[in-house]
Amino acid sequence: MLQDLQQLPPDPILGLSAACAADPNPQKVDLGAGVYKDEQGRTPIMSAIKKAEQAWIQEEDTKAYTPQMGVAGFADAITKLLLGDGHPALARARTLQCPGGSGALQVAARVLKRARDDVTIWLSDPSWPNHRPLLSSAGVALQDYPYYDPRTHAVDFGALTAALNRADPGNVVLIHGCCHNPCGADLDEDQWRALAVQLNDRQLTPFIDIAYQGLGEGLDEDAFGVRYLAEHCPELVVASSASKNFGLYRERVGGVTFVTASGEQSERVRSHGASVARGLYSLPPAHGGALVTRVLQSVELNREWRQELEGVRERINAMRAALAEAMRERLNDGRFDFVARQRGMFSFLGLSAAQVETLRQDHSIYMVASSRINVAGLTAANVAYVADAVAAVL
Ligand X SMILES: Cc1ncc(COP(=O)(O)O)c(C=O)c1O
E strand or H helix at 21: helix 12-22
Catalytic-residue membership of 113: no
Does residue 74 bind ligand X (CB under 6 A)?
Answer: no
Nearest to 99 by CA among 244, 251, 275: 251
Taking every pair of Cα atoms in the chain, the longest distance, rounded to a whole number of angstroms, is 62
Please report whether residue 243 would count as binding ligand X according to CB under 6 A: yes
CA distance 78 to 82: 6
Residue from the set 241, 266, 293, 374 that interacts with ligand X by CB under 6 A: 241
Q: Which of 70, 100, 206, 255 binds ligand X (CB under 6 A)?
A: 100
Q: Is 56 a catalytic residue?
A: no
Residues 6+ apart with CB under 8 A from 291: 49, 52, 53, 56, 246, 248, 251, 253
d(CA 180, CA 346): 7
247 binds ligand X (CB under 6 A): no
- The CA angle 349-354-356, to the nearest 5 degrees, is 40
* Least CB distance to ligand X at residue 362 (A): 29
Return the closest-CA partner of residue 98 out of 246, 213, 253: 253
β-strands 236-241, 254-259 pairing: antiparallel
Pick the closer one to ligand X by CB: 18 or 91: 18
- Please select the residue that binds ligand X; options are 66, 95, 106, 181, rule is CB under 6 A: 181
Residue 254 binds ligand X, judged by CB under 6 A: yes
Q: Considering only CA atoms, which of 225, 221, 211 is closest in space to residue 173?
A: 225
The yes or no reply on residue 288 touching ligand X (CB under 6 A) is no
- Contact between 128 and ligand X by CB under 6 A: the answer reads yes
Nearer to ligand X, 97 or 382 (CB): 97
**Residue 196 found at the interface with ligand X (CB under 6 A):** no
Task: State yes or no: residue 33 binds ligand X (CB under 6 A).
Answer: no
Catalytic residue (choose from 122, 128, 192, 305) = 128
Comparing CB distances to ligand X, the nearer of 364 and 371 is 371
- The reply to whether 122 belongs to the active site is no
As measured in angstroms, the least distance from the Cβ of 250 to ligand X is: 9
Give min distance, CB of 108 to ligand X, in A: 11
Least distance from ligand X to the Cβ atom of residue 102, Å: 3
Query: How many DSSP H helices and E strands does the chain contain?
Result: 15, 13
In sequence order, the β-bridge partners of residue 210 are 240
Instruction: Please give the positions annotated as active site.
Output: 128, 209, 244
Kindly list the residues in this chain that would bind ligand X in the complex (CB under 6 A).
34, 100-102, 128, 176, 181, 209, 211, 241, 243, 249, 254
